[in-house]
Structure 1
Amino acid sequence: MKKLPQCRTDNRKARVRHVVERRQKDLRLLVANVHDPHNVSAILRSCDAFGVNAVDLYYTDTAFPNLGKKSSASAKKWVSQQRHTDAASLVGGLREQGYQILSTGFSERAKPLTEWNMALPTVIMLGNEHRGVDPELDALVPDQIYVPMMGMVQSLNVSVAAAVILYEAWRQRNVKGMYDRPSYGADEVEAMIEEWCSK
């Protein structure tokens, strides 16, 4: 039996439109050498939940994650991914597009996530589970963000940190009404709807 397009019904198309119109064109994540595919999948699910449409995957010395449908709950098909291997061109390209880039970490230059204006065009950079952000990226991104914690353990799983940071970005943007109007142009919205209906 031939599979019907997902937007065959008006309800499905309305759902796709509702989600696409809330996608944030200028909020994205940069995932750098995160080892565990389950962590990457969980990050993609949070991206989908908070309206992030694009993720940059920087992989140099860590195996590229095999993102199965089960672990990602198919979130990977709703969030675009671009692979990178060159730190300078990646960071330089994002800066040319006008993004502030915030690296996660606990150095003396780090500031709590609530002190950053994430209503601005923003990229959040997440590093490897064990060693954090790689030195070649750290050297290019001086601005650092951390999640304030009140417990004895002073670190979070990378996917949990991503969810907390994206929630704060959502909160700031929601207050400004940024989810009430499309951040993509009308033609871009229609193209995305058509693409999503074909998945």
Structure 2
Amino acid sequence: MKPERVARIREVLDRRQPDLTIITDRVSKPHNISAIIRSCDAFAVPECHVVWPDEDFQTYRRRAAGSQHWVRVNKHPSTAEGIAHLKERGFRILAAHLSASAQPYDQLDFTQPTAFLMGAELEGVSNEAAELADGHVIVPMQGMVESLNVSVVAALLLSEACRQRRQAGFFDQPRLADADYQRLFFEACYPDLARRCRERKVTYPRLLENGDLEDSAAFSVAYNASSNQ
């Protein structure tokens, strides 16, 4: 792999914000899911969460322009379970929902661990999800329209969060845990080998800053041994 490519991968990983994410509430249209995933990648979000009760969740992949390789998509069977999962990890849940208590998106602090909850295309955030959220956020409209597309709102919220975090110095040093950084670094530098490692249940090797394997001999032994099992 060219040094320029390795440098670009490291630059992207150095900016990832592990305590910023999106969770969808019954968003069902593949093009909207895909657009949200692309926005996550664009605004340094390493993973997102979707509530998708059905088994067929692969229809979005061809529309995500490859962003699904850079953003881990976690699927939850219900909104309540998805929200509970994020709250256990210390996230504050902010629902994009118009209510009496809703606050404009540019008046909230997004430098703390934040998960934006995005509602379905027509109905918006469900009553259950709105009650489970820690707060409500809106993008004020200045024209005749009453709302924006769910993926557009997600992009605006993430963009504002990115602006605040950049201003606060969150992009000045890597924020991913070392294990997560190494995993993503290896998967980006060696996607085919990473796939085979997962199939063989071989632990990813550690990489040097230039993308080379730190201990190629030890990895070769472990990898070859797995083929004999």
TM-score for both structures, normalised by structure 1:
0.89
Structure 1 residue identity aligned to 2:36: I
Name the counterpart of 1:127: 119
SS in 2 for 1:159: helix
Aligned to 1:4: none
1:132 to partner: Cα distance? 0.7
The answer to whether the 8 Å contact 1:29/1:123 transfers is yes
User: 2:200 matched to which residue of 1?
Assistant: none
| 1:58 matched to 2:54 | no
Q: Matched residues, percent identical?
A: 38
- Structure with max Cα Rg: 2
Match status 1:46 vs 2:35: no
Q: Structure 1 residues 105 and 61 mapped into 2: Cα distance closer, same or farther (>3 Å)?
A: farther
Alpha carbons of structure 1 residues 62 and 146: separation in structure 2 relative to 1, 3 Å: farther
CA RMSD of aligned residues (A): 1.8
TM-score (norm 2): 0.78
Q: Distance in 2 between matches of 1:198 and 1:75?
A: 17
Is 1:103 the counterpart of 2:86 in the alignment?
no
Matches within 5 A, 1:149-164: 149-164=141-156
Which residue, out of 70, 78, 82, partners 1:86? 78
User: What CA distance in whole angstroms lies between the structure 1 residues aligned with 2:119 and 2:58?
Assistant: 14
CA offsets per residue over residues 107-145 of structure 1, 9 Å max, x none? Answer: 111111112110000000101000011233222114100
In structure 2, relative to structure 1, the CA distance for the partners of 1:74 and 1:87 (3 Å cut) is same
Name the residue aligned to 1:188: 180
- Structure 2 spans left out of the alignment, 5+ residues: 192-229
Q: CA deviation at 1:63?
A: 6.8
**Does the CA-based 8 Å contact 2:39-2:155 persist in structure 1?**
yes
Q: Does 1:144 align with 2:123?
A: no
- Cα pair distance change 1:134/1:187, threshold 3 Å: same
User: Contact 2:25/2:79 (CA < 8 Å) preserved in 1?
Assistant: no
**Native 8 Å contact 1:24 1:52 kept in 2:** yes
What is the one-letter code of the residue matched to 2:50? L
- Larger strand percent: 1
Question: Any conservation in 2 of the 1:33–1:62 contact (CA below 8 Å)?
Answer: no
SS at match of 2:145: coil
Quick one: higher RCO (CA 8 Å, sep 6+), 1 or 2?
A: 1
Residue in 1 that maps onto 2:14: 21
Q: Is the 8 A contact 1:110 1:144 kept in 2?
A: yes
CA shift, 1:64, in A, is 4.1
